[in-house]
Homo-oligomer: A and B are copies of this chain.
Amino acid sequence: MPSIDVCFSPELLPLYNLTGKIAVAVDVLRATSSMVTALANGITHIAPVSELETCLAYREQNYLVAAERDGVKAEGFDLGNSPFHYLEEDRTGRMLAITTTNGTQAIRLSRAADEVLVGAFLNVGAVADYLRRAGKDVVVVCAGWKGLFNLEDTLFAGALAERLEGDFTLNHDATLAAYHLYQTAKADKLAFLSKSSHVQRLERLHILKDIEFCLQEDTYTVVPVLQGDFLVAAQ
C-alpha cells in the first residue's frame, strides 16, 4: 500500500527522498488556493516563479503578473494573492505568472518528485482521486511561513490523509499529527485557526473573506500539475 507523508517546512525537504513519489505542494493561505481558482476559471497555464523581476518580465509575453510579499500585493503587479482576483472578471484564455512569499518556493523545491501537484482545500477531493489512481507514495510539501510550521497547511495535509485513509498508510509521525489536528479542527476550521498569531496577522490585513473562501472544500475539481515550467490542469 502506498504511503502519505507530510513535510511541514520547505527547510526540511532535503531530508525527504522524493524519487518515485508525487509531491503535493500546498500554501492554503493563499497561493495554492489562488492557483486552483485561476485554473478553474479560465487561466490556461501558470508560471510559478521565485523572483519579483522574473515575474514582472512575463508581462512582455502577454501574461497577467501576480505577486505577493508579506501578505500584500507587490507594487506594479496586476494581481496579488487573493483567489477573488481570479473571479472578479473573465480571465478565460489568459496566462499567469505568479510569485508569492512561500508558495512558489514549495513548488520549486518539490521538482525532485516524479510529479508535482498543487493542492488546496478547494480541490482536496480531486487531488485525492488523482493520487488514488496514480497509486504512488505521496509527500505533502507544506509551504509554511518563512520556513516555519503553520497550521493551515497542516490541516490540508490532514484532510488529504483522511480522504486517502484505507488506500494509503498514514503511519508517518507528521501524517498522524496532521490527521489528528484535522479531526479536531474540521467542524470549524476558521475557529480553530483563529487562535493562531499567524492567521490573526492575515486577518489584520482584512482578508477574512479570503480565508473563509480558502477553507472551503471541494469547490473545484481541477488538479494543477507541473509540466516543465508551467502548472496546467491535469487531464
Q: Which residues of A contact B (CB under 8 A)?
A: 8-9, 11-12, 15, 145-151, 154, 170-174, 176-177, 180-181, 183-185, 195-198, 200
Q: Check B184 against A171 for contact (C-beta < 8 Å).
A: no
A203: min CB distance to chain B, Å: 12
CB-CB under 8 A from A198, the residues of chain B are 172-173
Q: Considering the chains assembled together, what is the distance between the CA atoms of A8 and B151 in angstroms?
A: 13
Q: Tell me the interface secondary structure of chain A in the complex.
A: helix
Measured CB to CB, the closest approach of chain B to A68, in angstroms, equals: 19
Pair B176/A195 contact, Cβ less than 8 Å:
yes
- Of the candidates B8, B146, B150, the one whose C-beta lies within 8 Å of that of A15 is B146
Note all chain B residues with C-beta closer than 8 A to A181.
177, 180-181
**How far apart are A174's CB and chain B's nearest CB, in angstroms?**
5
Closest Cβ neighbor of A3 among chain B residues = B197
Separation of A177 and B198 alpha carbons in the complex (Å)? 13
18 contacts between A and B (CB under 8 A): A8-B8, A9-B12, A11-B11, A11-B12, A11-B15, A12-B147, A149-B173, A149-B177, A150-B173, A151-B173, A170-B195, A171-B195, A171-B196, A172-B198, A173-B196, A173-B197, A177-B181, A180-B185
- Partner of A197 from the list B149, B172, B184 (CB cut-off 8 Å) is B172
Q: Chain B residue with minimal CB distance to A174?
A: B149
Q: Report the nearest B residue to A16, measured CB to CB.
A: B148
- List, in ascending order, chain B residues with CB within 8 A of A12's CB: 9, 11-12, 147-149
Cβ B177 vs Cβ A151 within 8 A: yes
